[in-house]
Amino acid sequence: MNNAEKETINFDGLSEISITDEETPEYYPAHWHNAMEFTIALKSGCKYRINGISYELKEGDVLLAWPQQIHETLFVPPKGAIFTQFSASIFENNMDLVSIARYLYDCHYFSNEEYPELTRFISDKVFEIRNIRISGNPLAETRCKICIYEILLKIGEFVLNDKKEEIEKTHASGSAWRYIHLACDYIIDNSTENITQAEVASRIGLSSYYLSKLFKSYMNMSFPAYLSNIRVRNAAKLLADDNLSITECAFQAGFQSTTAFNKAFHDITGYSPREYRKLCR
């Protein structure tokens, strides 16, 4: 991705959500990661760049950076912003959100002046996440995820209304989205096997080339990336069982080598399988 560096986000413990306000960096170079990052400007003058487009935020404005989008912090005054980062798996587990991902991922900036109700809602939820995380509540993780889903729902409703005609035309004009559903269902059901893009394409009646195009267009990721995400998710559950070796977890989740498993697991979770297993204890 050009000269941008990939950032590895280490979420606290087994959490898939992090939040930062006290130590927001004044500047951070161009980078990308597999998590989502939503920023609330607490002071005017915050400057960012996403996919080459610059944004200067006023107090109350909201900025959205989606997975694998190159973004850069150009300037943030002291205690000028609060942002939350959360795992893309929270998003990818919901096919209705995934179905409009191509529109969501083009949505980066909400002006508080233009959309006060929406920005206030997102801001309130982000602060609620912060308060939940410091509360010590034993169900804090679930409560935080509910807040994330409420934010995603609100943004999704905005996008559905804003892009109504385009979305209706796209979904009504053919079977592309139905093919994506069929492909994802097959991948999830057979991810532990040595399946290939060509096999999945054949199963649902498409060419491998066309399935690849659909994945990049509708899922904002490649077929191999989606398959790896599913396998890593399955492996994370297996790692909680101390009776299974890490190698057994890798192969039972569908990986064909421990090298591929270790790399994919670290890229997606920010931890090595061994580190993750320790967190489970």
Domain count, the chain: 2
| CA angle in degrees (0–180, nearest 5) for 85-105-122 | 50
Measured CA to CA in angstroms, residue 10 lies from 15, 16, 19, 209, 271 at distances of: 9, 9, 12, 35, 7
pLDDT in tens, 12-59: 554 688 888 777 888 999 888 778 999 999 999 999 999 889 999 999
- Is the domain of 201 the same as that of 132? no
pLDDT in tens, 7-21: 666 665 546 888 887
Query: Counting runs of H as helices and runs of E as strands, what totals does the chain give?
Result: 13, 10
Q: Of 122, 148, 165, which residue sits at a domain end? A: 165
**Upper half-sphere CA count for residue 68 (Cβ side, 13 Å):** 12
- Is the domain of 45 the same as that of 141? yes
Query: Could you give phi then psi for residue 177, rounded to 5 degrees?
Result: -70, -35
At 91, is the pLDDT very low, low, confident or very high (cuts 50, 70, 90)? confident
Q: Of 142, 165, 188, which residue sits at a domain end? A: 165
pTM beyond 0.85: no
Average pLDDT over residues 131-149: 91
Q: Of 119, 146, 165, which residue sits at a domain end? A: 165
Query: Could you give phi then psi for residue 11, rounded to 5 degrees?
Result: -70, 150
- Is the domain of 120 the same as that of 191? no
